[in-house]
A and B are shown apart, each in its own frame.
Chain A
Amino acid sequence: MELQFFVDPIRCIGCKACLQGCSECATHRGRSMIHLEYMDRGTSTQTVPMVCMHCENPTCAQVCPADAIKRTEDGVVQSSLKERCIGCANCVNACPFGVPRYYPEFDQMLKCDMCYDRTSVGLKPMCATVCPSDALFFGTREEFETRRSGRPVNEFRFGAQIVRTRVFMVLDEAHDRLDVQDVALADTPDPRFEPDTYDSVDPFSHVEPPSNGGPA
């Protein structure tokens, strides 16, 4: 049975296990490719994990001037080829999901490759093996259906752009696509809190701050 990746950020409890697991992956040892965001630190404890969604027609690969991002036949979009990536950060800034990371120190982009060293031999990605809340779940469709409710979709819309991905996100039965709106959906700040309420506590201080690709 084919193993698939189901993400459900709503379930994320912000435990950071995935960050830790991810940094043990052989293709980017010591570095976590997962982005874990606080949705709105002033008002909520909700956290958001983001892995590469492995697009069918990856924007990152198309905007790459060096032809450094390849999608393998099994639909996994690889990290940049080391000898090719020229560090322009086009991919970092064009990916609709905000996934690739640019590392100024070695002038190269790295991104989640679904733990290719593991998934290419039938193992689960690191993050999904450690996620306690199943926000990141890797398994067969049957496993998903027997354990969970909700409808996994792999179609997203950003503006006029439809993006199909190899990774599924969990919605409800009424929706077969996630229409992502941007500013129209600006979150209204919760009046109970000052926007910087939690700023003295930086929950991700141990994580490398992502770089959008400026000069080192």
Chain B
Amino acid sequence: MSERNPASAGAIPVPFMSATLDGRGVLAGLVFSAVLSALVYLGSQGLRGFDGALAGYLFSTLFALFGIVYRYVVWLQRPPTRLYWVRGWQLFWAPGKRLRNMGLFVRLTFDKLVAQTFIRRRSHQRWLAHQLIFWGCVLAILVTFPLTFGWLRFESAVSDPSVYMPVLFGARMPLFGFAARSLVGWVIFHLLDIAAVLVLAGIAIALPRHLKDEAELSTQRLDNDFIPLVLLFAVSVTGLMLTVSNMGMAGKFYYWITTTHAVTVMLWLLFLPFGKFFHIFQRIANLGVWFYKAAGAEGEQARCARCREPYLSVMQRDDLKRLLPELGFDYAEEGGGNWQDVCPSCRRKLVTLNQFQTVGKRFV
């Protein structure tokens, strides 16, 4: 990939991200990690429910949380991001609109974050791959995080040792007990295998595109697109190998495989704030944008200074006109006009119209 396209493999300047550590980001990251640590301590009843073997996972999770929060906070400081963040909340919480917005929130969350229908409209195959990887990861996280944090564990019932019951935050839940050797027991003990199979199926569908598609080949980058896939693959395969070793190989290589699996999972966690994985957290902003658009569509529309046709909400146009000087752009005209008051279609025409004028030609 990088051979084919050396120019795209290197660093691409990221505007408005400082190279030094951002104070607010560090602070927020530390606060979030401290809160999670406290929740782990409390939820595991003063670490009594905590499984020491999982300490490595816990530390990686705390580190990943720090990184994610840090990057999020730095990202939110970019002027356009901050603007949408502020506007999104303002519009969401606008008096008189709250109930409707709650409804819209539920619908959008389902549509954009759960069912991801916008991907399906791009391509069914892409959507299927994304859904498989998404649900595999969600399932794995739902299973492993409560276990890692010591919030959840399983005990065999005193009355019948073949019956397992969950212990949530130290509270035994006999009502949810299940026989270890039942179908339910099998499914529960293999949830992570199921997650791994889902992820691998997703990767199998996505991979050919990454390897063959001309567009992907020219635009994908090692750190952004490939490492995440490789990490997901490694976590899933080593996880499945644990089960294979356990069930089919009488525990052969078990120690070696657990270590490798642990390393891959920790690498995965530590990579969450980087590359493609970060979009998991970034995409939530998509909902805010929809509130913005809904409010824009209801409000006054801006008319193009040239053709007088409405082309954008007054809110977005004015927000952009405020934003651009903050970013170092000045599109204001001497006579008081602003290039940003012209609709995109007229901008295209005017560029050529000016080309004609400048070279002294007239069109027929």
Contacts and interface: CB of A to CB of B under 8 A. Distances in A.
B324 A63 contact: yes
Interface string B3-20: 011011011111100000
Contact of A67 (B14, B293, B338, B352): B14
A9 B293 CA distance: 34
Contacts of A90: 80, 316, 320, 323
Interface in B320-364: 320, 323-324, 327-335, 337-361, 363-364
Interface in B68-104: 75, 78, 80-81, 83-84
B8 A120 contact: yes
B20 to A, nearest CB: 18
Looking at A10, A46, A50, A62, the one whose CB has the most chain B CB atoms below 10 A away is A62
B93 to A, nearest CB: 19
Contact of B218 (A46, A93, A116): A116
Nearest to B316: A93
A62 B293 CA distance: 20
A212 B307 CA distance: 15
B345 A98 contact: yes
Interface residues of A, number: 82
Interface string B207-230: 000000111011100001000000
Secondary structure of the A side of the interface?
loop
B63 interface: no
Size bin of chain B's contact surface: 35 or more
Nearest to B347: A98
B349 A175 contact: no
A143 interface: no
B206 interface: no
Interface stretch (A15-23, A125-133, A153-161): A153-161
A175 B356 CA distance: 12
A94 B7 contact: no
B352 A39 contact: yes
A61 B15 contact: yes
B129 to A, nearest CB: 13
B4 A105 contact: no
B276 interface: yes
Given A74-B7, A90-B320, A121-B5, A160 B330 contact: yes
Given A66-B285, A72-B12, A95-B344, A213 B293 contact: yes
B36 to A, nearest CB: 26
A1 interface: no
A191 interface: no
B163 to A, nearest CB: 44
B260 interface: no
B296 interface: yes
Contacts of B181: none
A73 B4 contact: no
23 contacts: A27-B218, A45-B364, A48-B352, A62-B80, A62-B328, A66-B285, A67-B14, A67-B78, A70-B12, A72-B12, A93-B312, A96-B347, A105-B118, A106-B122, A107-B118, A107-B286, A116-B219, A121-B5, A150-B359, A156-B351, A160-B333, A161-B329, A214-B297
